[in-house]
Amino acid sequence: MPSDAKILIVADHEDTLYALESALSPLTHEVVCATSGDAALKEVLRGNIGLLLLDVRVPDAGGLEVVRYMRRVVQTQYIPIVLLTGFGPDAALSSAALRLGVADLIPKPVDPWALRTKVSYLFRTHQRLRAMECELRELRTRPPSRTLSGRGRAVGRTRGVDPRSPVPLELPLQPDSAPQGG
């Protein structure tokens, strides 16, 4: 994921957006806002969103509908989503959200410190995952290396292998290095 990935906050009330944006401002990540489910989906599909902070009840597509859609789209299916709810404890909502792969369901009003801590952790974890995926793709496209490097050179020298030569599939065991019977 690009290091300039953004946090998307989705809520239908301007005061809620302002409070959440203020709570996250110490994190120094760019924050973008949307006021409906449709606007949230458009922003997410533009790309470069590293985390979604989503109110359960937003106009157009509701919070759970946004999550359902995102989980079906390859480019958005692993973006961490934190749902916000003002409904209090709701077992059915919690169960549905967790089945859809929501990272957490947070009741409102939100504790700013707890929100920052959770968002920071999820954002960093997602960035690391994306970086590892990119590295893995790069490694898969690279032709396999057939030469020794690093510690392999030292081991190769002890076995009589020239570190500049291609690595044999199996290093022959030298007769003088065979275990002696006692």
Q: Domain holding 75: CATH number?
A: 3.40.50.2300
Residue 50 has pLDDT above 60, yes or no: yes
CA distances from 84 to 12, 55, 132, 170 (A): 12, 5, 29, 58
Q: What is the pLDDT of residue 119?
A: 96
Q: What is the pLDDT of residue 170?
A: 54
Note whether residue 43 is domain-resident: yes
Note whether residue 113 is domain-resident: yes
| CA pair distance 123, 29, nearest whole angstrom | 10
Residue 15 has pLDDT above 70, yes or no: yes
Q: Which residues of 92-104 are buried (b: 16+ CB within 10 A; e: fewer)?
A: ebeebbeeeebbb
Indicate the number of domains in the chain: 1
Note whether residue 96 is domain-resident: yes
Sign of torsion over alpha carbons 113, 117, 123, 127: positive
Note whether residue 172 is domain-resident: no
Domain that holds residue 10: 6-141
Give the helix/strand (H/E) hosting 106: strand 104-107
Note whether residue 19 is domain-resident: yes
Q: What is the pLDDT of residue 1?
A: 42
* Contact between 164 and 150 (Cβ < 8 Å): no
Residue 148 has pLDDT above 70, yes or no: no
**Amino acid identity, residue 163?**
P
Note whether residue 181 is domain-resident: no
| CA pair distance 44, 39, nearest whole angstrom | 9
Note whether residue 78 is domain-resident: yes
Q: State pLDDT tens for residues 56-115.
A: 999 988 899 999 999 999 999 999 999 999 877 788 999 999 999 999 999 999 999 999
Residue 181 has pLDDT above 60, yes or no: no
130 band by pLDDT with thresholds 50, 70 and 90: confident
Note whether residue 161 is domain-resident: no
- Whole-number average pLDDT of the chain: 85
